[in-house]
C-alpha cells in the first residue's frame, strides 16, 4: 500500500460569512437500497450526494455543538421567516462551506447538517471539485490535506466521506478512516495516520447495503501520515 507522508502543516483558515451558504430544498430521509443505487449511478449532483450520504450515515448520527458556525448562521438570517430554521422542529438544512483548500486545479467544500440549533453528523463530509481532472498522487495529497483541515477545525469525526467530482460530473466516493493514537495526543503538532479507500459510487452502495462483501470488492487503497498543528485533546 503506497504511503504518503506530509510534514507541512496546513494553514487552516476559518471561513468568512461569504464562504458559507445553505442548500435548501433537499429532503433528507433514509432511502431503500435500490433508491441509493439509482442515485449512485447518476452523474454528480449536490442533492444526490447529500441524500446518499444521509442514508449511509443516519444510523449513527449524533448531535454536536459548533459555536463558531452558529455565529455565522445567525448572520445569514435575513428575515423573521429564516429564524424559524433555528427551532428544534425545523427540517435538516444543508450548510456548505467553501474551504481555503483550493488551487487552479480543484476546490474543496465542507458540508454540515443543521437541525434547529444542533449540528448532526457521523462522518465529516466534503467534496473535491476537480477543474481539469486529477487522480493518483494529487488526489491522495488533497485528501490528506482535508484530514488536516477537519482536525484543525476541531471536528471530532474519525471518518470522512468525500465526493470526488471530475469536470464531466463523473465521480467517486472516498472513504477515510483516521487513526488518532491516544498515546501520541498532545496540545499541538500531532502525528496522525489515515487509510484512504476510493470507490465507484455504485460499488460503494452495494457494499454498505450488504449486497457485496467489503473484502471482495475492488477499490483503490492508500495510506497517508500527516502532522496536525492544533490540539487533538478534544478526542479524549
The β-bridge relationship of strands 3-6 and 93-103 is unpaired
Domain boundaries, the chain: 3-235
Write down the pLDDT at residue 152: 92
The single-letter DSSP state of residue 176 is E
Taking the CA atoms of residue 85, residue 24, residue 142 and residue 44 in that order, the dihedral angle to the nearest 10 degrees is: 160
Write down the pLDDT at residue 91: 83
Write down the pLDDT at residue 79: 38
Write down the pLDDT at residue 189: 80
User: 118 pairs with which residues across the strands?
Assistant: 115
Please give the chain's pLDDT, 236 residues, in tens. Answer: 678 999 999 999 999 999 999 998 899 999 999 999 999 999 999 999 999 999 999 999 999 888 888 888 887 765 335 444 455 467 899 999 999 999 999 999 999 999 877 899 999 999 999 999 888 899 999 999 999 999 999 888 999 999 999 999 999 999 999 998 777 677 778 899 999 999 999 999 999 999 988 888 888 999 999 999 887 877 76
Write down the pLDDT at residue 84: 46
187 Cβ neighbours under 8 A, 6+ residues apart: 231, 233
Distance CA 177, CA 160 (A): 7
Convert 21-49 to b/e letters by CB count within 10 Å (16 or more is b).
eeeeebebeebeeeebbebbeeebebebb
Element (H, E) at 45: none
CB 212: neighbour CB atoms within 10 A? Answer: 14
Write down the pLDDT at residue 226: 95
- Indicate yes or no: pTM above 0.85: yes
Write down the pLDDT at residue 53: 97
Cβ-contact 174, 138 below 8 angstroms:
no
Q: Computed from CA positions of residues 182, 183, 187, 190, in that sequence, does the dihedral angle turn out positive or negative?
A: negative
Distance CA 77, CA 90 (A): 14
Amino acid at each position: 500500500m503506497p504511503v504518503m507522508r506530509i510534514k507541512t502543516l496546513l494553514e487552516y483558515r476559518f471561513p468568512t460569512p461569504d464562504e458559507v451558504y445553505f442548500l435548501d430544498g433537499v429532503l433528507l430521509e433514509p432511502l431503500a437500497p435500490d433508491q441509493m443505487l439509482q442515485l449512485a449511478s447518476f452523474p454528480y449532483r449536490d442533492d444526490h450526494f447529500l441524500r446518499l450520504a444521509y442514508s449511509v450515515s443516519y444510523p449513527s448520527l449524533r448531535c454536536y455543538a459548533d459555536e463558531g458556525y452558529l455565529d455565522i448562521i445567525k448572520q445569514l438570517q435575513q428575515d423573521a421567516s429564516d429564524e424559524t430554521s433555528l427551532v428544534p422542529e425545523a427540517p435538516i438544512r444543508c450548510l456548505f462551506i467553501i474551504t481555503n483548500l483550493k488551487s487552479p486545479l480543484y476546490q474543496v467544500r465542507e458540508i454540515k447538517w443543521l437541525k434547529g440549533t444542533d449540528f448532526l453528523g457521523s462522518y465529516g463530509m466534503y467534496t473535491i471539485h476537480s477543474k481539469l481532472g486529477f487522480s493518483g498522487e494529487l488526489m491522495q495529497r488533497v485528501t490528506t490535506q482535508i484530514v488536516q483541515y477537519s482536525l484543525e477545525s476541531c471536528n471530532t469525526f474519525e471518518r470522512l466521506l468525500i465526493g470526488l467530482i471530475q469536470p464531466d460530473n463523473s465521480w467517486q466516493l472516498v472513504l477515510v478512516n483516521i487513526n488518532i493514537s491516544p498515546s501520541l495526543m498532545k496540545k499541538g503538532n500531532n502525528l496522525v495516520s489515515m487509510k484512504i479507500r476510493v470507490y465507484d459510487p455504485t460499488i460503494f452502495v452495494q457494499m454498505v447495503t450488504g449486497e457485496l462483501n467489503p473484502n471482495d470488492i475492488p477499490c483503490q487503497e492508500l495510506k497517508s501520515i500527516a502532522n496536525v498543528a492544533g490540539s487533538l485533546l478534544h478526542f479524549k
